[in-house]
């Protein structure tokens, strides 16, 4: 993925993760929805940067020789790599059966090292997340209170092994130190910030923990000038064909009542639901004939065929006051049944003396993507083509970004234009059927991973950021990788690749 020479760039995510491993002394705790760090030789020949994933896996295997414990919590224990790590006693692996617990999936992706350093972001332990997809996350060094708080989220997952039901009460050892009403105080780049960890779903939230939805709501409510959102999917609907208004209403209030400028950057890929466009057009219509009302929307599509090889996998929001980095898409069912975690960093309103802030750095990342060649403005009453047009509609499959393998592709008469609004109850049924089919599709899982993946047009990703925000970028990273190996201990500055950002010597 190519950007202009004066664009914002950061270090590769693999660099940040390897740096965490190099700093580890006692225990490394990892939560990832999947494990697939070893591409085939054929895949590696087309993606030279895939060697970064192999290097990371090798570093994880070496922890045993250093007498460092490796604890892994995952949503599915069907990875050959996980089995090999467990069989060699290089790692202890616990599976969280989300199907039995909440009828959802584990989407959380974070690391905790020695309860002192941590990473949280959109990238899972998949070689594509480290090399070809556009990810973003944060690496934080030397911040014990916040790392310990995230460790408590890990401990909650860890204790769910073999569980078939969610406990009625949670141990006090899982209660958080901070939440949206009592955030922790941290110094970043000599600037005071407030921060806390959020999580989902509600069933997994001990007393005092802020939910992801509460965190997102607070960040939107506190915005005064702008709200920039980069997300894979935006669909304000629940699974039972019910409208999900939680976030949509907050955006409407910000637009109309506070005159806040809103930009939505949504991934355009073969799984994008047509109703997404209807909801965006509905939001845009609020600004018709309204002074000082601005809602802009673009779709980010680095691949013409809408395949997974180079998709925008970010899930973050930045405002004039705060940032939110999470694991979930903005779809109603995501917050009610799927497990995720988020990080909020905000600047107090009374801050006057400061350096280049976390908000400004992430804003620069968003604006780089927004003004890039891959972002296209949504045209009224026209649905953009996000994937290849298939001729044989009887055999239509596509792979989900959630990495659960090929899923049946929904087709219909409204694939290339907006779904019409209907008033008659019977006429509504085809649209509701589409919604039901879409959500049923998201629940299906298979063991396939790269069966139909397209070859890349260019190699990918590496955005750079400075708590360190990692954010997958690309070809420039590829060229650097050919010249020298991954840095063992990166400097304290913004970094991307899968997108990550480092905070060094943070104090709470």
In a domain, 394, yes or no: no
- Say how far apart CA 262 and CA 382 lie, in whole Å: 21
pTM of the model: 0.77
CA–CA dist 237, 437 (Å, integer): 13
Q: Which residues of the chain have pLDDT under 50?
A: 1-7, 305-306, 388-432, 434-439, 441-466, 469-495, 497-501, 505, 507-508
**DSSP characters for 332-388?**
HHHHHHSBEEEEEEE--TT--S--S-HHHHHHHHHHHHHTSTTEEEPPTT-PPP-SP
Q: Report if residue 56 sits inside a domain.
A: yes
Distance of CA 8 to the CA centre of its chain: 19
Per the domain annotation, does 135 fall within a domain?
A: yes
**Structure-token pair, residue 507:** 């104090």
Question: 439 in a domain, yes or no?
Answer: no
CA–CA separation, 84 and 72 (whole Å): 13
Give how many domains the chain has, as a whole number: 1
Give the tens place of pLDDT for each residue, 406-453.
Answer: 333 434 444 444 444 333 333 334 444 544 444 454 344 333 333 444
Residues recorded for the chain? 508
Contacts of 193 (CB under 8 A, 6+ apart): 185, 186, 187, 345, 346, 347, 348, 357, 358
The whole-number pLDDT of residue 356 equals 65
400 domain-assigned: no
Place of tokens 């970064």: 52
Whether 320 is covered by a domain: the verdict is: yes
On whether residue 425 sits in a domain, the answer given is: no
Give me the CATH number covering residue 372. 3.30.870.10
Question: What pLDDT is attached to residue 5?
Answer: 45
Q: Is residue 319 part of a domain?
A: yes
Q: How far is residue 477's CA from residue 378's CA, in Å, rounded to a whole number?
A: 30
Pairing of strands 330-331, 463-464: unpaired
Domain that holds residue 314: 13-381+448-503
């Amino acid at each position: 993925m190519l950007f202009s020479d004066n664009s914002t760039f950061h270090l590769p995510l693999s660099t940040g993760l390897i740096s965490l491993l190099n700093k580890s002394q006692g225990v490394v705790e990892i939560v990832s929805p999947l494990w697939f760090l070893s591409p085939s030789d054929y895949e590696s020949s087309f993606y030279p940067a895939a060697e970064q994933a192999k290097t990371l896996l090798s570093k994880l295997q070496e922890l045993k020789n250093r007498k460092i414990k490796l604890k892994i919590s995952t949503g599915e224990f069907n990875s050959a790599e996980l089995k090999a790590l467990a069989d060699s006693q290089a790692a202890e692996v616990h599976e969280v059966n989300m199907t039995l617990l909440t009828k959802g999936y584990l989407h959380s992706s974070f690391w905790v090292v020695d309860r002192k350093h941590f990473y949280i972001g959109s990238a899972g332990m998949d070689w594509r997340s480290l090399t070809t997809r556009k990810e973003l996350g944060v690496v934080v060094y030397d911040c014990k209170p916040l790392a310990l708080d995230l460790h408590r989220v890990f401990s909650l997952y860890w204790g769910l092994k073999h569980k078939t039901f969610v406990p009625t009460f949670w141990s006090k050892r899982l209660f958080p130190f901070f939440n949206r009403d009592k955030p922790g105080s941290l110094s970043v780049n000599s600037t005071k910030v407030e921060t806390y960890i959020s999580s989902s779903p509600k069933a997994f939230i001990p007393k005092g923990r802020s939910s992801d939805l509460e965190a997102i709501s607070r960040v939107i409510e506190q915005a005064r000038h702008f709200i920039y959102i980069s997300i894979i999917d935006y669909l304000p609907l629940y699974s039972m064909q019910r409208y999900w208004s939680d976030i949509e209403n907050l955006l409407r209030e910000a637009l109309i009542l506070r005159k806040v400028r809103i930009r939505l950057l949504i991934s355009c890929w073969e799984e994008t639901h047509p109703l997404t466009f209807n909801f965006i057009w509905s939001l845009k219509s609020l600004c018709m004939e309204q002074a000082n009302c601005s809602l802009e929307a673009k779709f980010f599509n680095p691949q013409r065929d809408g395949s997974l090889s180079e998709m925008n996998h970010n899930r973050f929001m930045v405002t004039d006051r705060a940032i939110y980095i999470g694991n979930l898409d903005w779809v109603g069912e995501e917050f009610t049944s799927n497990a995720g975690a988020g990080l909020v960093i905000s600047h107090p309103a009374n801050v006057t003396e400061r350096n280049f802030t976390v908000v400004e750095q992430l804003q620069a990342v968003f604006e780089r993507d927004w003004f890039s060649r891959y972002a296209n403005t949504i045209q009224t009453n026209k649905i953009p083509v996000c994937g290849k047009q298939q001729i044989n509609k009887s055999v239509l499959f596509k792979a989900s970004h959630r990495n659960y393998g090929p899923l049946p592709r929904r087709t219909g008469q409204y694939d290339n234009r907006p779904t019409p609004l209907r008033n008659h109850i019977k006429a509504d049924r085809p649209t509701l059927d589409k919604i039901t089919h879409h959500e049923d599709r998201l629940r299906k899982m298979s063991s396939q991973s790269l069966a139909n993946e397209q070859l890349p047009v260019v190699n990918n990703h590496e955005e750079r950021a400075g708590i360190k925000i990692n954010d997958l970028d690309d070809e420039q990273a590829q060229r650097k990788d050919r010249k020298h190996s991954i840095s063992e201990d990166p400097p304290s500055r913004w970094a991307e690749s899968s997108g990550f950002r480092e905070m060094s010597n943070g104090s709470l």
